[in-house]
Amino acid sequence: MDVQILFAVLGGIAILLFLILKLKIQAFLALLIVCILVGIFAGLPATEILTTMQEGVGSTLGFVATVVGLGALFGGILEQSGGANSLAKYLILKTGESKSPWAMMLTGFLVAIPVFFDVAFIILVPITYALSKKTGKSLLLYAMPLLAGLGITHAFIPPTPGPIAVADILGADLGWVILFGIITGIPVAILSGPIFAKFLSKRLYIEPPSFSNANTEDEINLPSPDLIISIIFVPIFLIVLNTVLTSALFPENFISGYWLYLINLLGHPFTALIIANLLAWYFIGIKRGAGKEFLNKTAMKSFEAAGIIILLTGAGGAFKQILIRTGAGEMIAASLQGTFINPLFFGFIIALLVRLLQGSATVAMITAAGITAPVLISSALSPSETALIVIAIAAGATGFSHVNDSGFWLVGKYLGLSEKQTFRSWTLMTGIISILGLTVSSILYYLV
């Protein structure tokens, strides 16, 4: 094992935490500084350090910047029109105030099956703002269950990309993976979502961020919750339609020509969110008498809020890419390959180590699957056991999201959290998901 590379990665993470938490240097600047330092410590050429940073920012923001911008605009009009407030009242009325966190968890759990984590989070997070404002309770009471539902489904249940890739590499049956993903995911979502959120919210009060100080308390003029639900449902429906109809569930030529082109176009998150914005702009804004000045002001405020999120997410992507380029995660994973650990625990450990060192859950999943696959060749495992190894790898790759994960910055800034608060909430929650996911999958492994 190359000690220099390991020192560069661990030292870089330590320096980043020191710069942000101790010296209070702005996180965007600190991330870029540490990218350069890690590259120098790892012995990368100067030009490679800078091109890797550029590649990391570009690959991260090519998708995220557009989605965050469109999502912020969508969230702004929902909030400032009172639409999110109206939907929050509806949720509380239907589920009761005490069960609203459970409703958010279930919403996240279901929506993330066909919709990417960050897209679903950006679409749904305004509802958590409104619930928090309405009840006066910590934003984390509602945001953590939403994140738990989204994160668990995204990691454990196909057709999301991570578990599909792992299942393919290990030769696992997707039916078994989906079944055990659901069986594992439900108790893990409950414990890491509403139950953890109730505990955390009593110790960490977070006031929901606002796009502006506009007054949305005019109870008579609030948009109807049915209208808000319909508009939120449109992008989700389009993305689901595209995912399902172009998946392995249907023959390759089931849809072709013009209709396939149309589904691919409208079902992409970019187009789906553009349509959602246009619907919100018209039905919640113009049709209800909102003037041009109000709409433009809402847009500007929304983009101001999105700016820091985009910059930090891009810098987080640069840091992740530098760590991937060092190869530290794969290096440590390969050094464990000769050990005699149970394949389920082996896959989990590999995925968790790669996740901790370079940040990307998807990279951690695929790396761990590639290294675990040869171990399974000599093992006479049943289809159910192989599927549970997929779940264990997904659990390891989900664990302990921190400063080298762009999701850490995305979630923290959307919820208005400091770095310490993000560690206490988001990082801890992903750690709980990881440990509980391993626990449930290992119990099932020895029972089936």
**pLDDT for the residue numbered 231:** 86
Give the E-state strand segments of 243-389 in sequence order. Answer: none
Binned at pLDDT 50, 70 and 90, residue 305 comes out as low
In a domain, 351, yes or no: no
pLDDT of residue 160: 67
Instruction: Give the Cα separation of 321 and 316 in Å (integer).
Output: 9
> How far out from the chain centre does Cα 407 lie?
6
Q: What tens digit of pLDDT does each residue of 258-278 get?
A: 888 898 899 888 898 899 889
Average pLDDT of the segment spanning 359-383: 75
Q: Which amino acid is at 258?
A: Y
Q: What pLDDT was estimated at residue 339?
A: 59
Gap between the Cα atoms of 424 and 422, Å rounded: 5
Whole-model pTM above 0.85? no
Convert the pLDDT of each residue in 52-66 to its tens digit.
999 988 877 877 788
The single-letter DSSP state of residue 113 is T
- The answer to whether residue 374 sits within a structural domain is no
Which of these, 287, 293, 282, lies nearest to 221 by C-alpha position?
Answer: 287
**Domain contains 384:** no
192: in domain: no
Contact in structure between 270 and 65 (CB atoms under 8 Å): no
Q: Which of 75-79, 94-98, 261-265, 267-271 has the lowest mean pLDDT?
A: 75-79
Averaged pLDDT, 178-187: 90
Domain membership of residue 301 (yes or no) is yes
Is 381 part of any domain?
A: no
Measured distance CA(284)–CA(70) in Å, rounded: 16
Domain of 108 in residue numbering reads as 60-160+217-310
Cβ atoms within 10 Å of 166's Cβ, excluding its own = 30
Question: Is 27 among the domain residues?
Answer: no
Residue 254's CB is within 10 A of a number of other CB atoms, namely 10
Whether 223 maps to a domain, the answer reads: yes
**Overall domain count for the chain:** 1
Instruction: Tell me what percent of the residues of the chain surpass a pLDDT of 90.
Output: 25
**What's the pLDDT at 216?**
43
- In angstroms, the CA 420 to CA 435 distance is 21
